[in-house]
Structure formats: structure tokens, C-alpha cells
Amino acid sequence: MKRRAFLKSLAATGVAASLTGSSVLARQAEAKKKKVDFGEVKSVKIDVLSETSWFDNDIFKKDIVDYGGAMTNQYTIPWKWDNAGGYMALITVTELDGKERKILLDTGWNNDWVDYIYEMNNIPAMLKSGEIEFMILSHWHLDHFWGIESTLKHKPDITIYGPATHYPEDMALLKGAHLTAKDKEGKEHHICKNDVPHTGKLVECNPDGEKGEGIYQVMPGVAVRNFDVPILLRVRGENVLYFNVKDKGTVTVTGCCHPGILSLFSYARKNFEGYHPYGCYGGLHITLFETWDPKFDDIIKGVKAFKIEKLACNHCTGWIWAEKAAAAGVPVVKGTDKYKSYKRTSTVATGSNAFLTNGDFVVF
């Protein structure tokens, strides 16, 4: 018996060693890889269509807490529909020859809100005409994806780059479904719907990339990189956009930036030819619920250390982080008061304009 137990221990050690060893080998192989050159663009303009994914933080948080906390499956929570907004951005890339090309980043949540925002920004016409060439889905979170019908009804065959780490519910909604969730009394509530099945191509992105280089080059100077990270509400993986802007440097554009803004720049430093940190736009997933933690101070110090020259943030970054970062000398791009003219505004918006918010834009 003792001998058998001993042999079992040895076998187990072997399994552990082989698993951990393969991870190290993969990292070492990655380190030896040649740096990727994905071209250059002349400039990138980001129009903030909507960064207001929900209007009242407290209601959103209560929905999460009441139905199981951060690890809960987002499709099992009867979200307060009236509180839902959505995250979308329009990206205009100017190529080196001056030609402009457009990309839609994410598709929001509440269809009423998404439709309202789309109409305000002429998105339906751009989708119908093909001026918007494709959509990057940053991740499968409700506020970035559940408004998919609002996009598909104008362009059902749009090409979508989404993380490969999706769940059956995500695919059901993409292909057309009405989904509900039960409240604590057992009553069913509508949580999302899509009556226009997606007929176009879904590019399922993974960390290997399309040619094993870790990226999907969607245009010259524009790359999508998938980071396979676990995220709250049972979601996994995020697609991030990298731009190589001529004479300026690397720009990241994110939905929520769950992997961490500095990790994105760290990846670029290790893997991209001619890396020079320049700017970022998007949710940075820091003080999501306007709370604080000493590690958020770490991020401010880190951003300064990485020498990012232009930081445009909103959404899950948290107003207090943006304000504190700006006060600490981080080059935060200020927004305007245009968002106040929209039919709804977030309860956490302040007069500091530390966020680039609805209706604002930034050019890198």
C-alpha cells in the first residue's frame, strides 16, 4: 500500500510538472517570437456614441448582489430594464493615403437607448451603406452585446469579431432569441431579445490570433488582440483594438479593458515592432462602482511610469479614478457638457469633465 501511494505521488508530480512546464515553454516560445509589424495609420478618431451602460450605479449593483454577486451568470439576473443603457463607439481610421474607414465597437444593451443613440449619430445609414465595415465586439457582457438587434436590423450580415469564449446564451441571442430571467418570486422578466438573426461572419478571436502571431490584423495599422481573462458575471475574454499611429505611437481602444490598461501596453511593448506608448480610449475597468482601493493608486503611478501621453477614458473607469489621475498629472483628455443634452444621464457624472462622455470625441 505504501509503495502504491508513493508511486501515485510520483505520477501526480509528473502531471503537475508537465502542465506547469508546458505553460513556461509557451511563454518562452512567445518571448522568442519575432515582433509583429502590423502597419501604420495616419490617425484614429473615436466618437463616443454611448459610454453610459447603466444610469444608476446603485440599482445595477443591487441587481448583481441580490442575484449572487460577481460570479453570477448574467443571463440569470432579472435586470432593471429601465436602468439599462449601453456602450458603443464609432471608430474612424484615416489610412496613410487619407482614406477614411469606419468600425463599430460594441452594440450596447437597451435597444431603446441604442436606437436613440444610433439615430442621433446617423449609424443606421452607415450600417446600411456598408460605410461601417465591421463590428468589434469587445466582450460578451450585457452592456456591450445585448443591444445586438439594434445593429443587426440595419445590417444583419455585418462581420463581427468577438471573443471565442462565448456561452450558448450568447449564441442564442446572436442567432435570434427572446431571453428571460426569473426574479426571487419566480416571475419571468424580459432581459434581452433579438428578432434579427445574424447572417454574417463571426470571427471567433482567441489569443493565438489568425496567423499564430497573437493578433487579427483588420486593417493596415489596426489589430485586434484577444486576452483570455476571467471577468465578472461569468464572462470570459476580451478583444482589444491596437492602432499604430504614424509618428505618434501605440493607441489602445477598449470596451472595458478588463486585462488592465498597463497590461495592454506591456503586451504591445513585448510583441509589437516600433512600440511607443501614446494613448488609450475606453473603459479602463478600475473604479467601476466609484469606490477606492490602494491598488487604484498603483495604476495611477503605473500609467505615469509607462509615459502614456493621451488618456481618454469613461464607462467602467470610474469618475473618481479619472479625477484623481488628472489631479496627479496623468494627461487625461477632458470631455464636454454635451452629454447633459441627452435624454438620460448617469447619476455618477460630475462637473469635472474627467470623462470623455456621450457625444464627445478624441483624435489620436
Partner 1 sequence: METDSPLENRFNYIMGLVNIVAIFCIVWLLWYIFMHADGIFRLYTPMYGFSLVVVFFSAILIIKDIFEFYPFAEKTPPDQSVLIRGILLTITAVVLMLFLYYVVFWKFLGEFGITYFSPYSIIAAGSQGAEIWNAREISSRAILYFFAAFLWITITWSAGFGRWPWQKNDRSVQAWSRLFTILFFVVIAYTVLFHASVCHLFYPAQVNAGVEPWWISFADTGSANFSLGLLLCALFWAVSSDLLWEGYPFKLLAKKDGGNFLRGLFVFIVTTILGIILLWILLKGMIYFWDEPFMGGQYTDGPDFRFLHAAEISGFLILSAFILKNYFNNFPNTNSIWLNAIVRTLLAIVGGALVYLFYYSNATVFFLGKVPGIAQPDDTPLVWTILFLSIIAVHCDFFEGWPLKKDRGTGLND
- Contacts to partner 1 by CB under 8 A: 1-2, 5, 9, 12-13, 15-16, 19-20, 23-24, 27, 58, 61-62, 64-65, 67-73, 76, 228-232, 234-236, 258-263, 266, 285, 287, 289-295, 297-303, 305-306, 320, 324
Closest to partner 1 by CB, 58 or 100: 58
Query: What is the C-alpha to C-alpha distance for residues 138 and 92, in angstroms, rounded to an integer?
Result: 17
Distance of closest approach, residue 18 Cβ to partner 1, in angstroms: 11
Cα-based angle 146, 210, 200 (whole degrees, multiple of 5): 40
Query: What is the C-alpha to C-alpha distance for residues 117 and 50, in angstroms, rounded to an integer?
Result: 7
Give me 35's grid cell: 515582433
Distance of closest approach, residue 350 Cβ to partner 1, in angstroms: 11
Q: Which residues of 59-88 are buried (b: 16+ CB within 10 A; e: fewer)?
A: ebeebbeebeeeebebbebbbeeebbbbbb
Residue 335 burial class via C-beta count within 10 angstroms: exposed 0-12, middle 13-18, buried 19 and up: buried
Query: What is the C-alpha to C-alpha distance for residues 282 and 312, in angstroms, rounded to an integer?
Result: 7
Query: What is the C-alpha to C-alpha distance for residues 153 and 118, in angstroms, rounded to an integer?
Result: 12
Q: Which residues of 14-43 are buried (b: 16+ CB within 10 A; e: fewer)?
A: eeeeeeeeeeeeeeeeeeeeeebebbbbbb
- Please state the length of the chain: 364
Closest to partner 1 by CB, 207 or 220: 207
Query: What is the C-alpha to C-alpha distance for residues 55 and 79, in angstroms, rounded to an integer?
Result: 13
Closest to partner 1 by CB, 198 or 258: 258
Closest to partner 1 by CB, 76 or 159: 76
Distance of closest approach, residue 326 Cβ to partner 1, in angstroms: 14
Distance of closest approach, residue 263 Cβ to partner 1, in angstroms: 5
Query: What is the C-alpha to C-alpha distance for residues 173 and 194, in angstroms, rounded to an integer?
Result: 6
Closest to partner 1 by CB, 126 or 313: 313
Closest to partner 1 by CB, 259 or 359: 259
Distance of closest approach, residue 330 Cβ to partner 1, in angstroms: 11
Residue 290 burial class via C-beta count within 10 angstroms: exposed 0-12, middle 13-18, buried 19 and up: middle
Query: What is the C-alpha to C-alpha distance for residues 20 and 18, in angstroms, rounded to an integer?
Result: 6
Closest to partner 1 by CB, 122 or 350: 350
In the chain, the N- to C-terminal Cα span, in Å, equals: 68
Distance of closest approach, residue 271 Cβ to partner 1, in angstroms: 12
Closest to partner 1 by CB, 266 or 345: 266
Distance of closest approach, residue 13 Cβ to partner 1, in angstroms: 5
Distance of closest approach, residue 227 Cβ to partner 1, in angstroms: 8
